[in-house]
Structure 1
Amino acid sequence: MKLLLIEDNATMQATLRRSFERRGMQVVGCEDGNRALALWQASLPDVVLLDLSLPGLDGLEVLSQARAAGLATPVIVLTARGAVGDRILGLNTGADDYMPKPFDLDELEARVRALVRRSSPTEPTWNGGPGPAWCGMQVDKDSGAVYLNGQAMELAPRELALLTALLGKPGYAIAKERLFELVFPGESQVQPEAIEVVAYRLRKKIAHTGAQLVTLRGLGYLLKADT
């Protein structure tokens, strides 16, 4: 995994570079807003970590120009600007996530990896018949049912839609917004928080399967096996 770290604080940049390289990632550093866009285009990173207060060109302008140029790389904004208005402005400009300084390095790593994973397809890739089994659960693409050790699970339609989406990529985080689209297709009158109710009910129904439905704050949901 390659990260582009756009951060003008030398100490912060060195700390983050050392931390991520120890975790097996490649880090390309940049401390100037004027150079950031060209380096972004040249390095083809998997994730960009972007500070907002940069010399030469503000981080929000870097992000705006990158999106206008068609660069779709996931971006996590790292900044001391902690006000809600600044966060909303960053997200509206095209950021995928936002972490105010100071932050926990383990949480930052988890968010980096989740951003990479959630850019993968979320739907199952099999074409009919039974899909791959996971923790004893298996989706039958023809009927749309989910089977647990060969027995059809009793699930409400929205619980079934959520579980089917998660079983398409077990162990990978799927954005709450994407899951909402799959569980409530075309239902614009439904509040986004409704997906949390479905997740709560599904979590109880799969508690005995050896799988856990995990909520990742600010990211979405994933299925993981009990350990």
Structure 2
Amino acid sequence: MSTERPALLLVDDDPGITSGLSPILARDGFAVTIAEDGAAALEAVAAGSIDIVVLDVMMPGLDGRETLRRLRRDGHTVPVVLLTSVGEAAERARALDEGADDYLNKPFDAGELISRVRAVLRRTSSGGPTLASAPVLIAGELKVDRSARRAWLSGREVALTPKAFALLDHLITHPDEVVSKPRLLEVVWGYDDPVGTRAIDHRISELRRVLADDPAHPRWIRTVPGVGYAFVAPVSQAAGSQAPGSQRPLSQGLR
């Protein structure tokens, strides 16, 4: 990442959004470049010196998700925050699976976007894929194969329900970040799934039981009363590695 002003590429075909958002981002310390479509975004990233991309999903021609797919296919590890719409829960889930680092629903508050951008930049590792695009993550004795949706603790595979794994996946890719319960409902269940926050608490209890995590002295997941949860263990990438026994991948989904 740049040592001074982080270079932010803002990609949106709506000039009303780019003209209004660009000066706000600039005042908050970002060096902003604007791209009006996905093709221009690909050119800007290929030219180098972009620290983070804020990418609208709904654009004519090359939309945001296809732009993201091409960035990852071409080996670009620049972090990406998607701007999407409330009713697109399935689209959000697929985009996160394809390597987006975070997303924000439209309409959004500029301050929240800046907070999310800074959070992504804090957890970005220089010279390698971001945590959201790394296939395998390691936190101490815990190994998570994100593509196979399997996890191991001290070398032994642990059994997790699909929702519990999706919850673990989001938390481990956002270490040291307090993730609110409403945010977890968006990411793991989607707005179209009529569940309450108790569903999150039940899945957190499942994770703690399986991972032998004491909530009073957490190794993995800390409760932030009245807010949500945070993954507290240091997380590293094991890009290119393969979890034990990955020749038998589990078929697990977000739903």
Report whether the alignment pairs 1:75 with 2:80: yes
List alignment gaps of at least 5 residues for structure 1: 122-173, 204-211, 223-227
List alignment gaps of at least 5 residues for structure 2: 1-5, 144-151, 161-167, 169-203, 234-255
Q: Which residue of 1 aligns with 2:32?
A: 27
Cα distance, 1:98 vs structure 2: 1.3
Contact 1:53 1:79 in 2 (8 A): yes
Counterpart among 151, 158, 171 of residue 189 in structure 1: 158
List structure 1 runs of 4+ shifted beyond 4 angstroms: 177-180, 195-200, 212-222
Whole-angstrom distance in 1 between the partners of 2:31 and 2:229? 25
Q: Which residue of 2 aligns with 1:159?
A: none
- The higher relative CO (CA closer than 8 Å, separation ≥ 6) is in 2
- CA separation of 1:81/1:53 partners in 2, compared to 1, >3 Å: closer, same or farther? farther
Instruction: Single out whichever of 21-30 and 78-87 deviates more from structure 2.
Output: 78-87
Cα distance, 1:106 vs structure 2: 1.7
Aligned-pair identity (%): 34
Whole-angstrom distance in 1 between the partners of 2:230 and 2:63? 26
- In the alignment, residue 62 of structure 2 is paired with which amino acid? L
Whole-angstrom distance in 2 between the partners of 1:23 and 1:199? 39
Cα distance, 1:16 vs structure 2: 1.6
Whole-angstrom distance in 2 between the partners of 1:4 and 1:10? 14
Contact 1:7 1:30 in 2 (8 A): yes
Contact 1:213 1:221 in 2 (8 A): no
Q: Which residue of 1 aligns with 2:115?
A: 110
Q: Secondary structure at the match of 1:201?
A: coil
Report whether the alignment pairs 1:98 with 2:56: no
Instruction: State TM-score, norm by structure 1.
Output: 0.59
Contact 1:114 1:219 in 2 (8 A): no
Which of structures 1 and 2 has the bigger CA Rg? 1
Q: Which residue of 2 aligns with 1:58?
A: 63
**1:41-81 deviation line (CA, Å, top 9, x unaligned):** 11431111010111331111111111011000111110225
- CA separation of 1:81/1:59 partners in 2, compared to 1, >3 Å: closer, same or farther? farther
RMSD: 3.5
- CA separation of 1:86/1:190 partners in 2, compared to 1, >3 Å: closer, same or farther? same
